[in-house]
Amino acid sequence: MFMIFGIPGPLLFGQLLLGLINGAFYAMLSLGLAVIFGMLNIINFAHGALFMMGAFVSWMLLTYVGIGYFPSLILAPLIVGIFGLLLEKTIISRLYKLDHLYGLLLTFGLALVIEGLFRNAYGSSGMPYRIPSVLQGATNLGFMYMPNYRGWVVLVAVVVCLATWAIIEKTSLGATLRAATENAPLVQAFGVDVPRLITLTYAGGVALAAFAGVLAAPIYSVNPNMGTNFINTVFAVVVIGGMGSIMGSIVTGFALGVIEGLTKVFYPQASATVVFLVMVIVLLTRPRGLFGKAA
Amino acid sequence: MRLSRRALLAASTVAVAAQPALRARAQAAQTIRIGCLTDMSGPYKDLAGPGAVAAANQAVEEFGAAGKGLKVEVLVADHLNKPDVGTTIARQWFDRDGVDVLVEVANSGVALAVAGVAKEKNKVYLNSGAATSDLTAAACNANTIHWAYDTYMLAKSTGGAMVKAGGDSWFFVTADYAFGKALQRDTTSFVTAENGKVVGSVTYPFPGTSDFSSYLLQAQSSGAKVLGLANAGTDTINTIKQAKEFGLKMQLAGLLLFITDVHSLGLDVAQGIALTDSFYWDMNDRARAFSNRFSPRAGGARPTMVQAGVYSSTLHYLKTVMDMGPAEARKDGAATVARMKAIPTDDDCFGPGSIRIDGRKIHPSYLWEVKTPAESKGAWDYYKPVATTPADQAFRPLDKGGCPLVKA
């Protein structure tokens, strides 16, 4: 067996792959945050709670209605997206004229309320959600035993991230969106319904979080607190990538997953901290983030 | 009419002096107040929380307090897993609300803090939820009893028995705080005492870790036979789920696993895991009878050993209060605890038992294995017995803890 820095090679490759898998979740969550921040200028602290809702809705669909995993991948984001749409219409839209801080406080409060309601109704130990039968089992890659479901998560995450990037950067809808962020009154003068565009953007970002939640349900316990574990790291990812940068958040998400994975081999106690260490270094050297545009 | 200054002064003195008299009369009505301080909203909500409150109420009703001329009230508060919140509530309860006894308190940090308050105010504290065996060691006091289980009991039963069964090499996944480290330390000592060895361990950040796959791969490549889970709650659930997902070929040892955790995992994931509990609802006729009375109060769930401990400790406390007379019991918490230690315990959950001078409640501990889905006859039918540690060997020997109450 060959060794790299005193660690057996196969173990190191395994960790790299695992890092990519976690990175897939970071990328999807930070992507939604970046989209929402880019278009609405709202720092959506409720993102973790909405991620949790995605997992819970898919659990509910299975338990109460008998709808399985694959339809849930579409239905749960749709349902949570509609919930996000209502949130934006009724509450969040009132804050656009105020400072960022108000939006942050409001969404943080919303997150506490949503998580509290779920905890009250479903307890804190979580609900089991089985891996769909076609994706059960594992493949021996030689250097590690790779669960098929995790492979599927990485694949889906990459596709969804690239599709979102393409929609925003390469389509006319995306062009309108970006134009509305730059200069809303002018775009409105061209006859575009900007408030509706913003509402739909928020719903879209929320649906992305819910989608990640459905993907996470079979891996982690479907638990009211599952979002809080992710949300701090994901915010760091967004900051490192550059607030509002779509590609930045995707690349940073995957990269930080890998860095975290490697830390877990060399010094596990620091694995929760290493992301923030990177954040400090990036903020000191490139205050706008790795992919942020200059002012 | 002219009032002299002296008359005014005298009148106010009388008014002030009358207040304690009034208070004393209110106490003469003999209401015993039980404060159930627990986790109503956090990670331990299911294993303690509302179920613990239900267990305390059940004990009060089944004791038949009303029929014996004793009025008993159960108060509830959420300590939010924060020692400062816990001690503030405890002080308020003791000083303002006339609470006589604290029960439950899941979370070792909060438990150690609250034990100090109970001693300071000379009240009674009956812990069931917290794990740390320090409560009956250096941190013991004359007002505290540790009821259901502790880290020493878990380590001895699970660690010792699994080595004897052939699991002689261990790898630990440990939560990076006092509880996780204590559990790993205690278990290690039993593993090595049985000529087993610990080939590695990984200490992960707590709280905030939800992905354990990296640690599981490290455990796998260590070649150890047993994976010791020195963590609790959601962390343990996630570790077990992911061990199954990655096809880990190691025997899992849940060093602190509750039946509510197994319920959440589901048997197809949890099957085969070894764990230690001092109470299982289906372990004998009396436990079954208790559980059948408990379940309707807890939305159909079966009781955990923590909830059983709350029932058992509340019941024994009320027996002691009747024995001493409520007025005497309310006056002196340490005297009440001393009396509780003198009277043998007996209830449906733990059967006959006793309480040691250091505050350790003594009963057997049991090693269980989680059933396969085929073996299980239905919901909550989860455990099959593997081994029993008799009451006199289940806990740390009296002279090894360093509790100042134990005279050499």
Indicate if B64 and B78 belong to the same structural domain.
yes
- Percentages (nearest 5) of helix, strand, coil residues in chain B: 45, 20, 35
Give the A:B interface size as CB pairs under 8 Å: 115
Residue A276 reports pLDDT greater than 90: yes
B336 lies in some domain: yes
Q: Note whether A150 and A139 are within 8 A (CB).
A: no
Place of tokens 């250096």: B138
Burial (CB count <10 Å: 0-12, 13-18, 19+), residue A274: middle
Alpha-carbon span B213 to B192, nearest angstrom: 27
- Cβ distance A128 to B214 less than 8 Å, yes or no, reads no
- Cβ distance B234 to A225 less than 8 Å, yes or no, reads yes
Phi-psi region of B325 (alpha: psi -120 to 50; beta: other; left: phi over 0): left
The beta-carbon contacts of B5-10 under 8 Å, at least 24 apart in sequence, are: none
- Cβ distance B234 to A221 less than 8 Å, yes or no, reads yes
Residues of chain A contacting B268 with CB distance shorter than 8 Å: 130
* Tens of pLDDT, residues B58-77: 999 999 988 888 999 999 99
Indicate if B176 and B317 belong to the same structural domain.
no
Residue B19 reports pLDDT greater than 50: no
Query: In terms of CA atoms, which chain A residue is nearest residue B259?
Result: A125
Q: Alpha helix (H) ranges present in chain A?
A: 9-40, 47-60, 69-90, 100-122, 148-170, 172-182, 184-189, 194-216, 226-241, 246-266, 274-285
Place of tokens 């979002």: A227
* Tens of pLDDT, residues A120-154: 888 877 888 888 888 888 888 777 778 899 899 99
Query: In terms of CA atoms, which chain A residue is nearest residue B219?
Result: A11
Alpha-carbon span A62 to A65, nearest angstrom: 6
- What pLDDT score was predicted for residue A269? 86
Indicate if B43 and B114 belong to the same structural domain.
yes
Q: Which two tokens stand for residue A227?
A: 């979002």
Alpha-carbon span A169 to A176, nearest angstrom: 10
Type of residue found at B96: R
B185 lies in some domain: yes
- Nearest one of B254, B362, B361, B259 to B305, comparing CA atoms: B259
Contacts of B309 (CB under 8 A, 6+ apart): B128, B129, B147, B148, B149, B278, B279, B349
Residue B5 reports pLDDT greater than 80: no
What number is the average pLDDT over the span B205-227?
88
B3 lies in some domain: no
Q: Is the peptide bond before B390 cis (omega within 30 degrees of 0)?
A: no
Type of residue found at A182: E
DSSP assignment, residue B150?
-
Indicate if B158 and B141 belong to the same structural domain.
no
Q: Which two tokens stand for residue B137?
A: 């060691």
A293 lies in some domain: no
Alpha-carbon span A15 to A263, nearest angstrom: 9
The CATH number for A167's domain is 1.10.3470
Contacts of B386 (CB under 8 A, 6+ apart): B161, B274, B366, B367, B368, B369
* Structure-model confidence comparison of residues B24 and A67, the more confident one: A67
A292 lies in some domain: no
Residue B24 reports pLDDT greater than 50: no
The nearest CA of chain A is from the CA of B17 a distance in Å of 47
What is the strand order of the sheet B383-389 is part of?
Answer: B197-204, B169-175, B226-230, B251-254, B274-277, B365-370, B383-389
* Structure-model confidence comparison of residues A287 and B295, the more confident one: B295
Indicate if B144 and B288 belong to the same structural domain.
yes
Domain containing B229: what range?
Answer: 152-277+365-394
Type of residue found at B313: S
A164 lies in some domain: yes
* Tens of pLDDT, residues A187-196: 989 988 988 9
Alpha-carbon span B396 to B392, nearest angstrom: 9
The CATH number for B223's domain is 3.40.50.2300
Q: Note whether A177 and A39 are within 8 A (CB).
A: yes
Secondary structure E strands in B79-194 = 101-104, 124-127, 144-146, 169-175
Domain count of the fold of chain A: 1
Domain count of the fold of chain B: 2
Chain A residues near any Cβ of chain B (below 8 Å) = 8, 10-11, 14-15, 18-19, 21-22, 116, 119-120, 123-128, 130-131, 138, 144-145, 147, 149-150, 219-221, 223, 225-226, 229-230, 232, 261, 264-265, 268-273
The nearest CA of chain A is from the CA of B373 a distance in Å of 14
- Cβ distance B264 to A125 less than 8 Å, yes or no, reads yes
- What pLDDT score was predicted for residue B36? 97
What number is the average pLDDT over the span B287-314?
96
B2 lies in some domain: no
Domain containing A270: what range?
Answer: 3-285
- What pLDDT score was predicted for residue A217? 92
Indicate if B87 and B218 belong to the same structural domain.
no
* Tens of pLDDT, residues B219-246: 988 999 999 999 988 889 889 989 988 8
- What pLDDT score was predicted for residue A294? 57
Residues of chain A contacting B261 with CB distance shorter than 8 Å: 125
- Percentages (nearest 5) of helix, strand, coil residues in chain A: 75, 5, 20
Query: In terms of CA atoms, which chain A residue is nearest residue B49?
Result: A123
A290 lies in some domain: no
- What pLDDT score was predicted for residue B3? 47
Phi-psi region of A231 (alpha: psi -120 to 50; beta: other; left: phi over 0): alpha
Tell me which residue in A21, A269, A272 faces B208 most closely, judged by beta carbons: A272
> If pLDDT is split at 50, 70 and 90, which confidence band does B26 have?
very low
B20 lies in some domain: no
Residues of chain B contacting A264 with CB distance shorter than 8 Å: 204, 214-215, 218
- Cβ distance A149 to B205 less than 8 Å, yes or no, reads no
Contacts of B242 (CB under 8 A, 6+ apart): A219, B211, B212, B213, B216
- What pLDDT score was predicted for residue B4? 55
Residues of chain A contacting B210 with CB distance shorter than 8 Å: 220, 226, 229-230
Interface with A, mutate which of B210, B248, B258, B265 (most A CBs under 10 A): B210
Residues of chain B contacting A11 with CB distance shorter than 8 Å: 217-218, 221
Residue B18 reports pLDDT greater than 80: no
- Cβ distance A125 to B218 less than 8 Å, yes or no, reads no
Indicate if B213 and B309 belong to the same structural domain.
no
Alpha-carbon span A165 to A260, nearest angstrom: 24
Residue length of chain B: 408
* Tens of pLDDT, residues A79-101: 999 999 999 999 998 888 888 88
Indicate if B81 and B158 belong to the same structural domain.
no
* DSSP helix/strand/coil, B148: coil
Indicate if B179 and B127 belong to the same structural domain.
no
**CA max distance for chain A:** 67
Indicate if B245 and B377 belong to the same structural domain.
yes
Alpha-carbon span A278 to A283, nearest angstrom: 9
- Nearest one of B216, B295, B296 to B260, comparing CA atoms: B295
- Cβ distance B205 to A128 less than 8 Å, yes or no, reads no
- Cβ distance B238 to A220 less than 8 Å, yes or no, reads yes
Q: Are strands B144-146 and B101-104 parallel, antiparallel or unpaired?
A: unpaired
ipTM of model over 0.95: no
Indicate if B239 and B158 belong to the same structural domain.
yes
Dihedral angle computed from the Cα positions of residues B193, B194, B195 and B200, in that order, rounded to the nearest 10 degrees: -80
> If pLDDT is split at 50, 70 and 90, which confidence band does B280 have?
very high
Indicate if B342 and B384 belong to the same structural domain.
no
- Nearest one of A232, A266, A222 to A129, comparing CA atoms: A222
Q: Are strands A145-147 and A138-140 parallel, antiparallel or unpaired?
A: antiparallel
The nearest CA of chain B is from the CA of A190 a distance in Å of 48
What mean pLDDT, rounded, does chain A reach? Answer: 89
The nearest CA of chain A is from the CA of B305 a distance in Å of 16
* Structure-model confidence comparison of residues A223 and B142, the more confident one: B142
> If pLDDT is split at 50, 70 and 90, which confidence band does A220 have?
confident
What number is the average pLDDT over the span B321-350?
95
- What pLDDT score was predicted for residue B29? 56
In whole angstroms, how far apart are CA B224 and each of A73, A104, B201, B219, B227?
A: 38, 47, 10, 7, 7
Q: Give the helix/strand (H/E) hosting A220.
A: none
Alpha-carbon span A195 to A229, nearest angstrom: 32
Residue length of chain A: 295
Q: Which two tokens stand for residue B374?
A: 């085929």
What mean pLDDT, rounded, does chain B reach? Answer: 90
Alpha-carbon span B282 to B183, nearest angstrom: 27
Contacts of B51 (CB under 8 A, 6+ apart): B298, B301, B303, B304, B307
Phi, psi of A127 (to 5 degrees): -115, 140
What number is the average pLDDT over the span B96-106?
95
Tell me which residue in A128, A261, A272 faces B214 most closely, judged by beta carbons: A261
Contacts of A232 (CB under 8 A, 6+ apart): B208
- What pLDDT score was predicted for residue A4? 65
What number is the average pLDDT over the span A29-48?
89
